[in-house]
């Protein structure tokens, strides 16, 4: 009698479990916030890279140093001894920078050697942020840019590491990440005109989106940033948000626009940055 009772209980339990499983709804994976936030973090890193190059130390002094009070540029010493510390102070009120963006706060950059002339492989610049705000978005973290010689286009190539980077958005939400990337400067490196600069970016990162989702990112086709356009115009990345499928983000064929295509399990959607 007891055995029949146990068998009946087992059948009922199995039936209930099966019913519960049938009622579970499949998770719909259509998340695109990680792609949008990754672009914002990428733009912040590249902007810091441009800041370092724009105000970098050369043999004659400081590139593009202004005579007015914003930004106020100071250097730890004017002798030939390195490392040197360069402070770029946009003040609490702020001012418009070389790229038309409005900056506040400070960037402090330690250079291990001359940055523009007589470059030596392994020369690095380490930038830290002090209440540094660009167009209302606050950037934090440590950014180390290392010169690694010439690429196949005879332009400079760099490694950029972002450590404990954090971007606070206008909404009050924030994106945090660490990244390790290579920048190949393939055009515009031989003059002071920013508009004709073209770079290719490769590498990887990991972080947390503005919605609190952890993710990893790997660049599978180098991202192309042409300064004649404000957007990334080519390249693909693979993004894997926590507990979701890997998605591919394709930035297009070189057309200057704010569009990209996100593909998840064979289904593609268009997004705009």
Token pair 């579970």 in the structure block, residue = 24
- With contact defined as beta carbons under 8 Å apart, do 49 and 158 qualify? yes
pLDDT tops 60 at residue 131: yes
Residue 6: enclosing H or E segment and its boundaries? helix 2-23
Please state the rounded mean pLDDT for residues 33-45.
Answer: 95
190 CB burial (10 A radius; 0-12, 13-18, 19+): exposed
How many other CB atoms are found less than 10 A from the CB of residue 41? 22
Convert the pLDDT of each residue in 228-273 to its tens digit: 999 999 999 999 999 999 999 999 999 999 999 999 999 999 999 8
Q: 159: which 2 tokens?
A: 């490694």
Q: Are 239 and 215 in contact (CB under 8 A)?
A: yes
Q: Specify the 3-state DSSP secondary structure of 53.
A: helix
pLDDT in tens, 81-122: 999 999 999 999 999 988 899 999 999 999 999 998 778 999
The pair of three-digit structure tokens given for residue 54, joined into one six-digit string: 């724009």
Angle at 193 between CA 189 and CA 194, to 5 degrees: 80
Q: Tens of pLDDT along 199-208?
A: 999 999 999 9
Give the residue carrying structure tokens 């029949």.
Answer: 4
- Which positions ≥6 away from 194 have C-beta within 8 Å? 50, 54, 98, 99, 188, 227
- pLDDT band at 128, cuts 50/70/90? very high
Residue 27, pLDDT score = 63
Look at residue 62 in the predicted model and tell me its pLDDT: 54
Q: Between the CA of residue 263 and those of 69, 220, 266, what are the distances in Å?
A: 48, 14, 6
pLDDT at 59 over 60: no
Q: Is the peptide bond before 83 cis (omega within 30 degrees of 0)?
A: yes
Q: What are 234's two structure tokens?
A: 């080519």
In angstroms, the CA 118 to CA 42 distance is 29
Look up residue 196 and give its DSSP letter. Answer: G
With CA atoms as reference, report the closest residue to 147 among 175, 178, 125.
125
Query: How far apart are alpha carbons 65 and 73 in whole angstroms?
Result: 7
């Amino acid at each position: 009698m007891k055995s029949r009772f146990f068998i009946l209980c087992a059948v009922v339990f199995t039936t209930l479990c099966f019913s519960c499983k049938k009622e579970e709804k499949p998770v719909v994976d259509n998340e695109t916030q990680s792609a949008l936030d990754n672009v914002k973090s990428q733009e912040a890193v590249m902007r810091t890279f441009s800041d370092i190059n724009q105000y970098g130390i050369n043999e004659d002094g400081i590139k593009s140093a202004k005579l007015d009070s914003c930004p106020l540029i100071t250097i730890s010493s004017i002798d030939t001894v390195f490392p040197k510390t360069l402070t770029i102070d946009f003040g609490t009120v702020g001012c418009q920078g070389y790229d038309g963006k409005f900056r506040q706060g400070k960037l402090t950059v330690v250079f291990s050697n001359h940055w523009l002339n007589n470059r030596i492989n392994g020369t690095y610049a380490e930038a830290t942020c002090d209440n540094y705000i660009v167009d209302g978005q606050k950037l934090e973290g440590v950014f180390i840019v290392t010169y690694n010689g010439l690429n196949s286009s005879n332009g400079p190539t760099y490694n950029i590491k972002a450590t404990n980077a954090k971007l606070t958005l206008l909404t009050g939400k924030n994106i945090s990440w660490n990244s390790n990337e290579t920048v190949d400067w393939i055009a515009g490196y031989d003059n002071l005109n920013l508009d004709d600069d073209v770079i290719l970016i490769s590498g990887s990162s990991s972080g947390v989106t503005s919605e609190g989702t952890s993710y990893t990112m790997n660049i599978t086709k180098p991202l192309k940033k042409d300064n004649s356009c404000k957007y990334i115009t080519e390249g693909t990345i693979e993004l894997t948000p926590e507990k979701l499928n890997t998605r591919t983000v394709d930035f297009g064929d070189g057309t200057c626009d704010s569009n990209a295509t996100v593909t998840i399990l064979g289904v593609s959607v268009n997004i705009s940055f």
